[in-house]
Amino acid sequence: MTRVTKGVIAAAGRGTRFLPVTKAYPKELIAILDKPNIQYLIEEMVGAGINEINIVHRPQDKKIAEYFTPDQELESFLKENNKELLLASLKEIWSRAKIYFTPQDPQLPYGNASPILSVKNFVDHDPFVYMFGDDLVIEEKPGDYLSHLIKIYQNYHPAVVLGAQEVPWEEIDRYASIKYLNDPKYPNRAEEVLEKLPPNQAPSNMAQFGRFVVSDKIFPVLEKQGLSRDNELWFADANNTLAKEDVAIAEPITNGRWLTTGDPLRWLKVNLVFALRNPDLAADIKNFLTKEIRPR
pLDDT tens for 134-160 read 899 999 999 999 999 999 999 999 999
Q: How confident is the model at residue 202 (pLDDT cuts 50, 70, 90)?
A: very high
Indicate the helix (H) or strand (E) that contains 163: strand 160-166
218 pLDDT more than 90:
yes
Q: Is the pLDDT of residue 7 over 90?
A: yes
Q: How far is CA 108 from the centre of its chain?
A: 21
Reported as a single tens digit per residue, the pLDDT across 284-294 is: 999 998 888 77
What is the pLDDT, as a whole number, of residue 295? 67
Under a CB-based contact definition with an 8 Å cutoff, are residues 167 and 207 in contact? Answer: yes
Answer whether residue 2 shows pLDDT above 80: no
Q: Is residue 288 part of a domain?
A: no
Among 179, 151, 175, CA closest to 243: 179
Residue 255 and residue 145 in contact, taking contact as beta carbons nearer than 8 Å: yes
293 within domain boundaries? no
Domain tally for the chain? Answer: 1
Q: pLDDT confidence of 296, banded at 50, 70, 90?
A: low
State the DSSP code for 58. Answer: -
In this predicted structure, what is the pLDDT of residue 14?
84
Residue 1: what pLDDT?
63
When pLDDT is averaged across residues 154-173 and rounded to a whole number, the result is 94
pLDDT at 219: 95
276 lies in some domain: no
Size (the chain), residues: 296
Residue 46 has pLDDT above 90, yes or no: yes
Query: Sign of torsion, CA 196 202 206 208?
Result: negative
Least confident of 89-93, 96-100, 227-231: 227-231
d(CA 138, CA 134): 13
- Beta-carbon contacts of 17 under 8 Å, excluding residues fewer than 6 positions away, are 262, 263, 264
CATH classification at residue 193: 3.90.550.10
**189 secondary structure, DSSP code:** B
Average pLDDT, the chain: 92
What are the residues whose beta carbons fall under 8 Å from the beta carbon of 260, sequence distance 6 or more?
134, 135, 136, 209, 266, 270
Q: Report if residue 78 sits inside a domain.
A: yes
In a domain, 284, yes or no: no
In a domain, 296, yes or no: no
Closest CA to 130 of 153, 145, 113, 144: 113
Tell which residue, 94, 74, 95, has the closest CA to residue 84.
Answer: 74
* Residue 61 located in a structural domain: yes
- Domain for residue 55, yes or no? yes
pLDDT at 247: 96
Residue-number span of the structural domain to which 39 is assigned: 6-262
